[in-house]
Amino acid sequence: YKQIVLASRPKNEIIPSEVFRTEEGGPIPTDKTLKDGEIAIKVDYLSLDPAMRGWMNDTKSYVPPVKIGEAMRAYGIGTVTFSKHPRYNPGDLVVGTFGWREYVVTTGSGIEKVILPQGATPRDFLSTLGMTGLTAYFGLLRHVPENVLGPNCTVVVSAAAGATGSVVGQIAKVKGCKVIGIAGGEAKCRWVRGELGWDGCVDYKKKGWERDLREAVGRGGINVYFDNVGGDILDECLKLAAPHAKFIICGSISQYNTSKPQGPRAFLLVISKRITLKGFIVFDFLKEYDQARKELAQWLLEGKIKRMEHIVDGGIDAAPRALVQLFEGANTGKMMRLLLPL
């Protein structure tokens, strides 16, 4: 079977032909090749996440860097094909950190058996019920007090049409907030306003977007800003923040492809406006995933959260280019997932 390994570390943007290499991963695992305690998994979908760019850097972070020559780290969902492990049976659906591989052989560490809640699909475990949905859930609900979220609260979300941002805004709507998105392009903004029913969405690629944002936010200013992008958009939101605003620093995608990331230039406003900046990592809430998934699954079932998927076809070979496209905003209103043919 095939696997794609990290061949060299990118300095700035990812150039797939330079940083990745396709290799033979090994023989397709069978009942005969498995040892006692092992399971074989056929990978069905791989998740493409902006965080993968950070994992390629040789820097200390919340997880160790991917080693040169190692299969590129990636979450995935797959099906158990053979098992010599007491907890798994052929046909079981599993999620975990599989890497860019068509098959995985494991003793079970780092993988979870999926029990589908009513109305949920396997792919939900890479999106709304997976890392991005959980990030939205904990990022918003664990950092903004329940009594703050409501009709008097204006929430602004960047990368609004993306996997995490779109769920953040939908949860804020469930809580009755005024929600304004920021996204690249009018088509994404139309989807956010129309399909998701947010109160506004500003296209940051349009000239004069700063004025559009100011008008959409209104005189009261921003009470909660959920930051997925950093850079100029974070600066503009600092300028529009209400006193005592909460800024949830979830990600900073505009700064991932450079070795010299830009911090907020409007930083002094944090002092004068008494703004709280709160960073977090979704893994901090590992013990609460099951409870969050129950609530998110219920919202999916009731149609309060809508699914959005951007599936890239073409097998594992399409993974490197698809990862680059995530940084180009190709996932219009949906998240990127890679389909591996049977």
CB nearer to ligand NDP: give 49 or 102.
49
Q: Do 130 and 48 contact (CB within 8 A), yes or no? A: no
Q: What is the DSSP letter of 334?
A: S
Question: Rule CB under 6 A: is residue 251 a binding residue for ligand NDP?
Answer: yes
Closer to ligand NDP by Cβ: residue 99 or 184? 184
- Binding flag, residue 78, ligand NDP (CB under 6 A): no
Measured between alpha carbons, how far is 196 from 216 in angstroms, rounded to an integer?
Answer: 16
CA–CA distance, 190 with 224 (Å, rounded to integer): 22
Cβ–Cβ under 8 Å, residues 239 and 37: no
Q: Is 237 in the site for ligand NDP (CB under 6 A)?
A: no
Identify which range of 107-115, 216-224, 261-269, 276-284 contacts ligand NDP by CB under 6 A: 276-284
Say whether residue 76 binds ligand NDP (CB under 6 A).
no
Cα torsion angle, 50, 54, 57, 62, sign: negative
Instruction: Establish if 165 lies at the interface with ligand NDP (CB under 6 A).
Output: yes
* The two structure tokens encoding residue 267: 């930083």
Question: Is 326 one of the binding residues for ligand NDP (CB under 6 A)?
Answer: yes
Looking at 164, 246, 299, 312, which residue binds ligand NDP (CB under 6 A)?
A: 164
Does position 46 bind ligand NDP by CB under 6 A?
no
Nearer to ligand NDP, 92 or 309 (CB): 309
Residue 209 near residue 203, CB atoms below 8 Å = yes
What tokens appear for 269 in the block?
């406003």
> Binding residue for ligand NDP (CB under 6 A) from 202, 312, 335, 338?
335
Angle at 142 between CA 139 and CA 144, to 5 degrees: 90
Residue 167 in tokens: 């769920």
The residue among 114 and 159 lying less far from ligand NDP, judged by its C-beta, is 159
Listed residue (226, 136, 220) closest to 183, CA to CA: 226
225 residue type, one letter: Y
Nearer to ligand NDP, 154 or 254 (CB): 254
# residues contacting ligand NDP (CB under 6 A): 31
Contact positions vs ligand NDP (CB under 6 A)? 49-51, 131-132, 135, 159, 161-165, 183-185, 188, 228-229, 250-254, 280-282, 326-327, 329, 331, 335
